[in-house]
Amino acid sequence: MPLLLEGAERNTELKRAGELPKIVMSSRETGDLIMLGIGGFTPLTGFMGKDDWKGVCAEMKMTDGTFWPIPITLSVDEKLAPGTEICLISGETDEIMGTMKVDECYEIDREFECKHVYTTADREHPGVKMVMDQKKYNVGGPVKVLSESYFPKEFPDLYQRPAESRKVFEDRGWTTIAALQLRNPMHRSHEYLAKIALEVSDGLYIHQLIGKLKPGDIPAEVRVDCINTLVELYFDKSRVLTGGYPLDMRYAGPREALLHALFRQNFGCSHMIIGRDHAGVGEYYGPFDAQNIFHELWDGALLCKMLPIDWTFWCYKCGGMASMKTCPHKKEDRLFLSGTALRKSLSEGGDVPAEFSRPEVLKILRKYYGGLKEEDKVEVKMHKFATGETKK
């Protein structure tokens, strides 16, 4: 259920919040709070206590048996007594975001969380770094949410609450809706996944992350421009809805794939597209680990089902996009499409094969990279699996 207050109730709580002790939240925590507010994280009513944190890390299950794959936590510098009420402030904007009544204040084993959720405690992993950089204590308890930050204003035609996406699906008569998670512009592989999903679904929900990414990823406004252009020119718009959500990427690979499916369920989707290296980073996960983890779930854990799609590529002999399941040709006949490879090539001013992405999208991306100063260009390492080699 949404925890976002509005109208007179919000004004009263906002006035009261200004008199409470202030806790400054990270960007990740702020995004999590907004998702709690708009109903994206239903049935959660606040940040997790210690037992729920531990159960989610170890077993993907809260103390009441609710399935949840990644801890939703808030950290503080000093120990707070149960019953303390606090004002939650965005560290990015200094805006009052909400209030919280502390039920519990506890320390966590950060390596325990990282090894279970991220499968590594390596601080080079951006998600692990988020956990390791948390403050000393976590606080658990219910929240009241007072703001959606800058997202509704900065992305007025994209940012959506679950109630809004569900209303569109209902109005269009869709009962099977496939969600496509995007943090990058759509290259031909993403487009192929989307169109496969459309063949077996009533509609497609292109759901873009508009929170923070790691250095080297393409900014949200550039990605939005690319995707809007692609949808306008190459999709039946009556069967596509684009939306945006306010989370930061955690790059948790398989666990994050489950989180993506879980909150897409709240947005009204029946299926979640899971392709190669979903929500991965570097070489921490195998190319299909995110698909395999769905098979580990118990009955009833998720209503939103996985739509698994094999490794896709451009085949010169087939004359189009294909997958390992459909193409009989050899590796040298195939162009494997990787967002990482595309970013690296564009940032270095290299040639990009025409088959990699639609020309209208490449034009937008070349303009973006051409406008960057050299010191702003972040080196992007080629992903080990971009060549189509299987993990040893």
Is residue 271 classed exposed, middle or buried when 0-12, 13-18 and 19+ CB atoms within 10 A define those classes?
Answer: buried
CA angle (336, 346, 350) in 5-degree steps: 85
Terminal-residue alpha carbon distance, the chain: 45
Instruction: List the structure tokens of 322.
Output: 């294909």
Query: Among 99, 95, 76, 101, which residue's Cα sits nearest to residue 4?
Result: 99
Structure tokens at 79: 């120990």
Tokens 């809805």 identify what position? 241
State the Cα–Cα distance between residues 241 and 299, nearest whole angstrom. 29
Active site residues: 183-184
Distance separating alpha carbons of residues 388 and 392, to the nearest angstrom = 12
Burial (CB count within 10 angstroms: exposed 0-12, middle 13-18, buried 19+), residue 143: buried
Q: Which helix (H) or strand (E) holds 256?
A: helix 254-266
Q: What are phi and psi of 309, to 5 degrees?
A: -130, 135
Place of tokens 């008199």: 19
Strand, coil or helix: 305: strand
Alpha-carbon Rg of the chain, whole angstroms? Answer: 21
Cα–Cα distance between 66 and 252 in angstroms, integer?
A: 20
Q: How far is CA 123 from CA 262, 354, 355, 374, in A?
A: 27, 37, 36, 26
Ramachandran region, residue 149 (left: φ > 0; alpha: ψ -120 to 50; beta: rest): left
